[in-house]
Each structure stands twice: as structure tokens, then as C-alpha cells.
């Protein structure tokens, strides 16, 4: 199986390294011709969401990637990637919209300057049976959550969204069909729980 990683800006190399260590093939999407390659999953990495949105449109990548996500391509967005997937983010420039495929509302840089970057731990609790696939993961396991000027999920707008992790009563990782939106950076720690789960979708 092969995962494509959007590599316009941000922490794409770290995702590739983690997936390669899990024996998953990867390649980078940098220009439109890269979309001609065959791939089974997509990662939208952390970074600067406004820069990524503009480049997606300027390079002609936006429409094709959005259509693939809407068609059910397993997709994981971390930090800025979550903002790209989110249905609404109030500061988004309407000239360069995000994908708006994940029914959540997010707030950028929501944890404040003092907590701009920090690490927490919390349980990762995927559904036992997601899309008719048996999940044998340890539901009591705690994972590291590395927040770097992270967005906050402020509202969930569809009952089909499943919360996978929380921090202080706020959802930090969610699942909607085959989209995973994560406020933190799982690729910056050695724990592979989330990436293994993503590969199971």
C-alpha cells in the first residue's frame, strides 16, 4: 500500500519516516503531475495552513484532492492539516478555501502564547468496529500529544463524527468516515499508535 503526503510546506518528512518504519510506501505530492501516481491514502501535515491553502490553489491541486477525499480516500490531517479538512475556520481567506470535508469547526492557535507548545498524554480510543473492521487496539493506552500552536476543535457538526482523543474535555482527534483530524503532531513522537490506526482504515 502507498500513502501520498502533501509536501508543500510543514512536517511532511516526519510522517514519511514514521510510515516507512511501518513498512508503508510513501511519496510526496508537490505538483499536479504527482496526482497521476497511484496511492491508497493521503496525509495533510502540520505547518502553516494559510500557506498550504494558497499553494493548493495556485498549483492546481485543490479540486482533485478534495474530490478524492469526498470519494472516500482515507485521509489524515494533523495540526494545519486538520484546519484544511475542517468544515469551518473563522479566519480562513475565502479566496483560498480549505477542503471543508470534515464536519468540525476549528480555531487556529487556540491554546494561547503561554501554551503555544506543550506535550500532554491522553487515551486514544478508536471505535471497536470501524467500517466493519475489527479493531484490536488497547483502548486504555495513553499516547503523547505534542501541541505546537495547535488548533482547537470547538464544535462537532455531525453526529457521525467519532472522538478519538481528548485533552481537558476538548476533542483533539476525531474520525469521520475515513478522515482523521488531529490537533497535535503524532509524527514528532516515537509512538506509532495513530499512524498504525490510520493504516487500518
Catalytic residue check, 187: yes
Determine contact, residues 80/45, Cβ cutoff 8 Å.
yes
Catalytic residue of the set 15, 177, 185, 195:
185
Helix H or strand E segment including 20: helix 12-21
Catalytic residue check, 139: no
Enumerate the H helices of 22-108 as residue ranges. Answer: 49-58, 62-70, 80-85
Catalytic residue of the set 14, 87, 89, 187:
187
Catalytic residue of the set 79, 87, 89, 177:
79
Backbone angles phi, psi at 26, to 5 degrees: -140, 160
Catalytic residue check, 89: no
Q: Is 68 helix (H, G, I), strand (E, B) or coil?
A: helix
Q: How far apart (Å, rounded) are the C-alpha atoms in residues 149 and 152?
A: 10
> Which are the catalytic amino acids?
79, 185, 187
Amino acid at each position: 500500500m502507498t500513502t501520498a503526503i502533501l509536501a508543500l510546506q510543514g512536517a511532511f518528512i516526519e510522517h514519511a519516516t514514521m510510515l516507512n518504519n511501518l513498512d508503508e510506501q510513501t511519496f510526496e505530492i508537490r505538483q499536479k503531475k504527482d496526482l497521476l501516481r497511484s496511492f491508497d491514502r493521503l496525509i495533510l501535515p502540520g505547518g502553516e495552513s494559510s500557506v498550504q491553502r494558497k499553494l493548493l490553489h495556485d498549483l492546481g491541486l485543490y479540486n482533485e484532492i478534495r474530490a478524492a477525499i469526498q470519494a472516500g480516500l482515507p485521509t489524515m490531517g494533523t495540526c494545519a492539516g486538520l484546519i484544511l479538512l475542517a468544515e469551518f475556520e473563522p479566519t480562513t481567506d475565502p479566496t483560498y478555501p480549505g477542503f471543508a470535508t470534515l464536519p468540525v469547526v476549528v480555531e487556529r492557535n487556540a491554546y494561547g502564547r503561554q501554551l503555544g507548545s506543550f506535550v500532554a498524554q491522553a487515551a486514544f480510543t478508536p471505535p471497536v468496529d470501524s467500517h466493519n473492521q475489527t479493531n484490536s487496539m488497547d483502548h486504555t493506552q495513553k499516547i503523547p500529544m505534542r501541541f505546537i500552536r495547535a488548533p482547537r476543535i470547538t464544535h462537532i457538526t455531525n453526529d457521525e463524527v467519532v472522538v478519538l482523543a481528548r485533552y481537558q474535555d476538548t476533542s483533539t482527534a476525531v474520525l469521520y468516515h475515513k478522515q482523521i483530524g488531529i490537533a497535535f503532531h503524532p509524527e514528532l513522537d516515537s509512538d506509532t499508535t495513530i499512524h498504525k490506526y490510520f493504516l487500518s482504515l
